[in-house]
């Protein structure tokens, strides 16, 4: 009989014993005299544990593979072409000649870098143009752009809230929100994923004990591909005198008939949301983040948010690339329709093939839940051999029983690409999973 995980019973027991010892060493108090031993830093043992497990299972790491060109619906890795489902190039604008030309023109005009903080060194016209376009997109009075999407949430939440305040967020919210909440010192409560009833119960119970309250949800959840009931959160925030922040990182260009995001998708007046947050690194094919809100809040952030005041300004070519991508998004809504059709087709075919796709709405992100990290890693490796690039999401990023492959669709994928990929996925499952069930 084929042994589970490709190991003998003795080898498997030995591996588990070594991993358990590593975990024990990680959680134990550091010994005296290890203060300069970098291998004892939190998390270092976990990385070694994962590498050891991968080596024992004969699995090459799927992470940090170098792409040899633009990573769109197709990509080149190691001299081979792959169908690519591991990039956020939702509308195929990264690599679009118009976007590249805008970035090159900005380099010719302003150079590669803003060279200093915008507060200290002054504006470039492209910064103001981008922020005005993003504010208009969200129906907001003003907008401010930061150099990093992750840093946007960290610095904005960390700066606006304090120890007397309350932050209520979805349990699956992005790490950047959690880090911002920790920085703020506010009380942080996570409610069960997409459970507005549970969120309101918490808010009703806790609101009077705190100064300000902030509710944070995502417009399109990057791990599960589902969408919140934004109207419910808007009304909740009004009833309990709370601010509502919506992270649109994976919603812009993906949700709504014209890609305006979750407000358009749900038919909600965007003015009901106090703080719209988004990133420039996905649909807008650049790098950075932004907040669109009332002019009072944006002006406060421009003059006092540490991640803006004490950081170099957004690089002009990135601002220009994002602005041109936004222009194309507004002018060519067919790209959004193509993306949504591709995602719906992938979701339908995956479900027909018997896969667990969780709560995905089939709008741009489709998870395929395989139930164990080993299963996800093996199936991803088999797909890579078959010419399909998709990343496994493993414990501890998700609970072990929720380990998955996460497929990001693009407007540039074809129906043939999707049919071929789902067929390869089914073949990889049939080849790998019986081995994992044996014993």
Top pLDDT among 152 and 396 is at 152
Residue 3 is predicted with a pLDDT of 37
- The string of DSSP letters for 347-359 reads HHHHHHTT-B-TT
Beta bridge partners of 356: 369
Confidence (pLDDT) at 5? 38
What's the pLDDT score for residue 63? 82
pLDDT value of residue 8: 45
When mean pLDDT is compared across 88-102, 215-229, 245-259, 384-398, the lowest value belongs to 384-398
Tell me, rounded to whole angstroms, the distance of Cα 201 from its chain centroid. 28
Helix (H) or strand (E) holding 84: strand 80-84
Average pLDDT over residues 400-424: 97
Domains belonging to the chain, first-starting first, are 4-51 (no CATH), 59-88+333-437 (3.90.1150.10), 97-331 (3.40.640.10)
Separation of alpha carbons 216 and 245, rounded Å: 5
Q: Which residues pair with 315 in a beta bridge?
A: none
At CB < 8 A and 24+ separation, what contacts does 402-405 make?
402/369, 402/371, 403/369, 403/370, 403/371, 403/372, 403/373, 403/375, 403/376, 404/358, 404/367, 404/368, 404/369, 404/370, 404/376, 405/367, 405/368, 405/370, 405/376, 405/379, 405/380
pLDDT value of residue 169: 98
Q: Which of 57-61, 83-87, 152-156, 356-360 has the lowest mean pLDDT?
A: 57-61
Residue tagged 């769109």 (tokens)? 72
What pLDDT score does 437 carry? 46
Establish whether 159 is a catalytic residue. Answer: no
Whether 273 and 217 have beta carbons less than 8 Å apart is answered as no
- What crossing angle do the helices spanning 44-56 and 9-27 adopt, rounded to 10°? 170
Give catalytic status of residue 138 as yes or no: no
pTM of the model: 0.91
Q: Categorize the per-residue pLDDT at 377 as very low, low, confident or very high, splitting at 50, 70 and 90.
A: very high
Say what the pLDDT of residue 360 is: 98
Residue 336 has pLDDT above 80, yes or no: yes
Residue 56: pLDDT band by 50, 70, 90 thresholds? Answer: low
Q: Over the stretch 229-275, which tens digit does the pLDDT of each residue have?
A: 999 999 999 999 999 999 999 999 999 999 999 999 999 999 999 99
- First-last CA distance in the chain: 8
* pLDDT score at 9: 46
Residue 187 has pLDDT above 50, yes or no: yes
Evaluate if residue 136 carries a pLDDT over 50. yes
The length of the chain, given as a count of residues:
439
Which listed residue (184, 282, 293, 402) is catalytic? 282
Find all residues with CB under 8 Å of 411, minimum gap 6, and list them.
90, 91, 92, 335, 336, 338, 339, 342
| Whole-number pLDDT of residue 12 | 45
Mean pLDDT over each residue of the chain, to the nearest integer: 91
What are the pLDDT digits (tens) for 89-107?
999 999 999 999 999 999 9
Lowest average pLDDT, out of 114-118, 119-123, 199-203, goes to 119-123
Confidence of residue 397 (pLDDT cuts 50, 70, 90): confident
pLDDT category, 27, cuts 50, 70, 90? Answer: low
Catalytic residue among 222, 285, 293, 311: 222
Would you state the pLDDT for residue 64? 83
Q: What is the mean pLDDT of residues 385-398?
A: 92
Tell me if residue 21 is catalytic. no
| pLDDT digit string, tens, across residues 262-310 | 999 999 999 999 999 999 999 999 999 999 999 999 999 999 999 999 9
Helix orientation angle between 316-331 and 334-352, rounded to the nearest 10 degrees: 80
Q: What is the pLDDT of residue 438?
A: 41
The answer on pLDDT for 311 being more than 80 is yes
> Residue 54: its pLDDT value, please?
66
């Amino acid at each position: 009989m084929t042994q589970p995980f490709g190991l003998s019973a003795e080898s498997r027991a030995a591996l588990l014993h070594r991993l358990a010892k590593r975990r024990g060493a990680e959680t134990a108090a550091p010994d005296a005299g290890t203060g300069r031993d970098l291998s004892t830093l939190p998390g270092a043992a976990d990385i070694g544990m994962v590498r050891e497990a991968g080596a024992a299972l004969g699995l090459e790491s799927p992470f940090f593979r170098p792409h040899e060109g633009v990573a769109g619906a197709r990509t080149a890795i190691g001299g081979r072409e792959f169908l690519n489902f591991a990039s956020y190039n939702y509308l195929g604008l990264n690599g679009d000649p118009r976007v590249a030309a805008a970035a090159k023109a900005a380099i010719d005009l302003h150079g590669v870098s803003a060279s200093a903080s915008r507060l200290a060194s002054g504006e470039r016209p492209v910064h103001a143009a981008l922020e005005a376009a993003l504010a208009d997109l969200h129906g907001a009075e003003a907008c401010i752009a930061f150099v990093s999407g992750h840093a946007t949430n960290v610095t904005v939440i960390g700066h606006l809230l304090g120890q007397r305040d309350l932050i209520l967020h979805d349990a699956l919210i992005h790490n950047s929100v959690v880090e911002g909440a920790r920085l703020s010192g506010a009380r942080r409560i996570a409610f069960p994923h997409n459970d507005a009833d549970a969120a309101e119960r918490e808010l009703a119970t806790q609101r009077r004990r705190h100064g300000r309250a902030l509710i944070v949800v995502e417009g399109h959840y990057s791990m599960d591909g589902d969408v919140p009931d934004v109207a419910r959160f808007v009304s909740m925030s009004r009833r309990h005198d709370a601010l509502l922040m919506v992270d649109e990182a994976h919603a812009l260009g993906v949700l709504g008939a014209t890609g305006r995001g979750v407000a358009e998708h749900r038919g909600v007046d965007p003015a009901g949301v106090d703080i719209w947050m988004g990133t420039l690194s996905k649909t807008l094919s650049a790098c950075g983040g932004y907040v669109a809100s009332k002019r009072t809040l944006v002006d406060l952030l421009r003059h006092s948010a540490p991640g803006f005041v004490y950081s170099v300004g957004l690089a002009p070519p990135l601002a220009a690339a994002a602005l041109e991508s936004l222009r194309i998004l507004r002018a060519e809504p067919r790209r959004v329709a193509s993306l949504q059709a591709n995602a719906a087709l992938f979701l339908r075919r995956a479900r027909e093939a018997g896969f667990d796709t969780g709560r995905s709405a089939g709008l741009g992100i489709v998870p395929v839940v395989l139930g164990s990290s080993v299963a996800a890693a093996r199936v991803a490796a088999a797909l890579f051999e078959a010419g399909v690039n998709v990343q496994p999401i493993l414990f501890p990023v998700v609970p072990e029983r929720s380990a998955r492959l996460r497929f990001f669709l693009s407007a540039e994928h074809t129906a043939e690409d999707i049919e071929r990929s789902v067929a390869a996925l089914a073949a990889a499952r049939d080849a790998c999973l019986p081995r994992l069930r044996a014993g």
